[in-house]
Structure 1
Amino acid sequence: MASTAVLVALYFLVPFDLIEAVPVWATLTTALLVLFAVTAWQVRAITRSAHPRVRAIQALAITAPLYLLLFAAMYFVMANADLDAFSAQGLTRLDALYFTVTVFATVGFGDVSPTSQATRLLVMVQMILNLLVLGAGIQVLLGAVQRSRRDEAPDPMSDPERSS
């Protein structure tokens, strides 16, 4: 909970003026590389943890909000760089986060929608990654838990009581 709260606070407090000058594709690529690095670190932490299930929950509490907040930040920057990028002009940070969660949840209320080609492309990328995050991402975390539990389980063939 604390890590999620910190990430959300950072999203609302960090000035995004610094990344407005960087091309969107470069920012998105960097953001996704950071997300993959954090995920890889989390998987490694799960496999080495004494309590892999608890560690997997912690990993999900970090990676899921990070994923959503990275897209929300991208949408916020794009909306402020191009007022015609979305149907609702001048998205606030809350609007951008709302839109990101709406796309992630596949609700699609239609109150905010992408109107430029660049924002439509980014929304499509998010939709595809949503499927990967929900499918492969969760499978990777669960696989790390299972691998850790398998590594700590005693080998029945090496049990001295069984061999007698």
Structure 2
Amino acid sequence: MVTAYFLLPLDHLGPRRPALSWTLFGLALALIALLLLRQVVQVLLDRPEVRPGLVIPLLTCLAVLVFATAYQALAQRPGEFHGLTTRLDALYFTVVTLATVGYGDITPHGQAARLVTILQILYAFVFLTAAATALSSHLRGALRRHESTHRNGAP
């Protein structure tokens, strides 16, 4: 996915096609959110066929790349970002924002850039936190079942 992020021709997004850019951004985030929520519900219902250990990290990575793409597209508009000029800068800013580190070397100045940054923070609070909680719950349950099986003498 990261390789695709760096290789896909994303230069057609941004200020030249704002309606398309915002539509794709919204649709991608909505789809990822729905898929994450589906995984969370399946974990909470304790469905045995669910495999969140693979799906949740992939969807989380995809969400990061969607936000990085949005930041890169926004950076093409003058005045939106200070210090963001490359795709790596956009990915770096996304991860720094997600980790709530905020080094300050890349800063959103424009209203659209600030809006997307706020959306990323809220998205992380709601969807990524729920997904991480579900994943850790699933892993704790699997560990308890594994320990119980070995404690009862099963091979």
TM-score normalised by the shorter chain: which range applies?
Answer: 0.7 to 0.9
Query: Within the alignment, does 1:72 sit opposite 2:73 as a pair?
Result: no
Give the TM-score taking structure 2 as reference length: 0.73
Structure 1 residues 127 and 117 mapped into 2: Cα distance closer, same or farther (>3 Å)?
A: same
**CA RMSD of the aligned region, Å?**
2.7
Query: Within the alignment, does 1:133 sit opposite 2:130 as a pair?
Result: no
Residue 93 of structure 2 aligns to which amino acid in structure 1? F
Structure 2 residue aligned with 1:63: 59
Structure 1 residues 130 and 41 mapped into 2: Cα distance closer, same or farther (>3 Å)?
A: closer
Structure 2 residue ranges without an equivalent (≥5): 143-155
Structure 2 residue aligned with 1:33: 30
Please list the CA deviations of residues 53-106 of structure 1 after superposition, one character each: whole Å capped at 9, or x if unmatched: xx22211220111111010000001101x03211115x2000000000000000
Residue 33 of structure 2 aligns to which amino acid in structure 1? F
Structure 1 residues 38 and 13 mapped into 2: Cα distance closer, same or farther (>3 Å)?
A: farther
Matched residues in 2 for 1:136 and 1:42: separation? 10
How far off is 1:130 after superposition?
A: 1.3
1:148-159 paired onto structure 2 within 5 Å: none
The answer (yes or no) to whether the contact 1:72–1:96 under 8 Å persists in 2 is yes
Please list the CA deviations of residues 100-137 of structure 1 after superposition, one character each: whole Å capped at 9, or x if unmatched: 00000000000000000110111011111111134322
Residue 83 of structure 2 aligns to which amino acid in structure 1? A
The equivalent position to 2:82 in structure 1, one of 74, 82, 87, is: 87
How far off is 1:25 after superposition?
A: 3.2
Q: Between the two proteins, what is the percent identity of the paired residues?
A: 33
How far off is 1:29 after superposition?
A: 1.0
The equivalent position to 2:106 in structure 1, one of 98, 112, 126, is: 112
Structure 2 residue aligned with 1:156: none
Q: Which structure has the bigger radius of gyration?
A: 1
Residue 76 of structure 1 aligns to which amino acid in structure 2? Q
